[in-house]
Chains A and B, each alone.
Chain A
């Protein structure tokens, strides 16, 4: 066991907690701990076993199905086809398009949420009247279920004739936009960014508040203005929190589904189909288990590339 003191060094973003952290000389693992640790396996076994099953069995089945000809509409025709499903997938124009859309959604939402989230975090770190209430309002979108936020935006805000945005555009003399047919992917990006902006802001705010006030004071003494303060003190301090936000959001954003499901259903054409929606279409609309599984394998590979970085970053932080 590492000394508990590493808790304080390892996470510089930690906010000061009311209870003092345990003294660096935590009790060494005495003989009692060692002797009794023999019996901890039954305690851990249920969780480990369930997660092992959950992560391995479906994965193996997806891999297996991806090499099978298997359509639920024609279940008798069933057998090993090698790489035929992957060949079908690669020659389907849907794959390249949907991977492109997936990356566009991830990329744009990250740019919007991280940049605006940083500004919001700096703003809400200031002292102002009613800060608690304003913060509560600001983070609210994160707790709205995706189907609700997508339908509210689609109907009441982005509707070409009766939406609030159209009304605002018309009242300044502009043409209203039919968001979901003229710019379907951009519309979905707006909705998803609205949902994730509070997440980024909240986490970056927590990180900023852990910044040592003395460091800010010292910089101010040395004559740092608001801009040099932002770029030379706050941004470097936030670097790690930003990377955590980027990685966690990426894992979720790769799998955006409900927002597409209730607004555009992937259309018009393939304009707003991402990888998750493409696989759903193969599986539950066309009942093509083989193709859907091959798509699933692609999605898993994509997510694991991201996760490798995430796990490495977070693993540094554990003092087990």
Chain B
């Protein structure tokens, strides 16, 4: 059912770390740390329970469950039917993760990163024609992803795309802090209703 979220069961590996759950997604090659609340919600996403049912079962506020579901969808951890209902496709989520790169995606319940390929995680060892060894490409700008093309030794500074797919935040980039997502005023109209606490709440 489209309104009953189902957790992805394929292509994901999990590891409990204290009361958090770390998830590796082999499709988007990203890793996520789910807070205890987000992990609890995810564990009940069986395609049978509604968000309200999950909230009732966990004793959580409906808005909190909605937030968790939105972030789970954003992270690509729900089956596509429900994610698309939330307005976030897997492609969008992957694109968002890819553009932000290894920087953390600001989120209260889920912390996500993209896992780089092996060579990218190495120190100055991009291969036999590495012309970047010994080169410092840091432009001290948190709004760019600094890299180096090993084929020509040229530094690259790819602009960070600060888009949290949330109509209730203003997305900007601070050169020292990186992406900043500022909540709009409560009551600001959004797609399905009005913004409350940085979240679009449906108007009855």
A binds B: no
Residues of A within 8 A of B (CB): none
Residues of B within 8 A of A (CB): none
